[in-house]
Chains A and B, each alone.
Chain A
Amino acid sequence: ETGVTQTPRHLVMGMTNKKSLKCEQHLGHNAMYWYKQSAKKPLELMFVYSLEERVENNSVPSRFSPECPNSSHLFLHLHTLQPEDSALYLCASSRNTGTQLFGSGTRLTVV
């Protein structure tokens, strides 16, 4: 275990549902990241939070909404997703030097 915990591990949701992914770390890291991993794009950076402020948003559709209430927690709120959003969603955290530690991911299936 890396110390980065993601829940749930698996999620199946309909296109009209609203759900949230959760990421938690107690490593003292001050940056947190959301990645999307699919067969087409192996590691696609979605959002970066540094010191709880969003510092990067890589043209992600508004149906994905991140939230970072404190330095230990990161959420990804999902609504009206499309089947092509089915993927493994990975959370990572780091402290300054770029060494990112990843969680095990949430396998999302949109039906």
Chain B
Amino acid sequence: QQQVKQSPQSLIVQKGGISIINCAYENTAFDYFPWYQQFPGKGPALLIAIRPDVSEKKEGRFTISFNKSAKQFSLHIMDSQPGDSATYFCAAGTSGNTPLVFGKGTRLSVIA
């Protein structure tokens, strides 16, 4: 019940296209859903996050869509660029100092 299932494991997208990464969870106590972006040799960096009181959050080219009833959330990267090539992790957590539960990551490659 603590798992966060992330798909796909890897993704290749043409420059200018839309990258979509999906995550699903079981624990209905989760109330915080961040996405992290990690470049080789670096630690994961917080990209964007959402709480279940909204169904969508947009920051620039990055959008989180959240479906509470389906217990799913997804990251959309619009106008994908080669510089977006990285590994993306979804995560879920609860209020308080309980550790986030991370998905297994998606390696995105944006090709010209």
The answer to whether A and B assemble together is yes
Give the most central of A33, A43, A107: most B CB within 10 Å. A43
Q: Min CB distance, A31 to chain B, in Å?
A: 4
Which A61-109 residues have a C-beta within 8 angstroms of B?
Answer: 90, 92, 94, 96-105, 107
Chain A's closest residue to B9 (CB) is A42
Main secondary structure of the interface of A (DSSP, over half): strand
Give the distance in Å from the alpha carbon of A92 to the alpha carbon of B105 in the complex.
17
Structural contact, B46 and A42, CB atoms closer than 8 A:
no
B43 touches A103 (CB 8 A): yes
Instruction: Find the A residue at minimum CB distance from B106.
Output: A42
- Chain B residue nearest to A103 (CB atoms) is B43
Which residues of A approach B to under 8 Å, CB–CB? 2, 4, 6, 30-31, 33, 42-43, 45, 48, 50, 55-56, 90, 92, 94, 96-105, 107
Interface residue ranges of B86-102 to A (CB < 8 Å): 87, 89, 93-100, 102
Sample of 9 further A-B pairs with CB below 8 A, known A45-B99, A56-B99: A31-B97, A33-B99, A42-B87, A42-B104, A48-B99, A55-B97, A98-B100, A99-B32, A102-B43
**Residues in A neighbouring B42, C-beta threshold 8 A:** 104-105
Q: Kindly provide the distance from the CB of A92 to the nearest chain B CB, expressed in whole angstroms.
A: 8
Bound-complex Cα distance A30 to B102 (A): 20
Bound together, the chains give a CA A92 to CA B102 distance in angstroms of 13
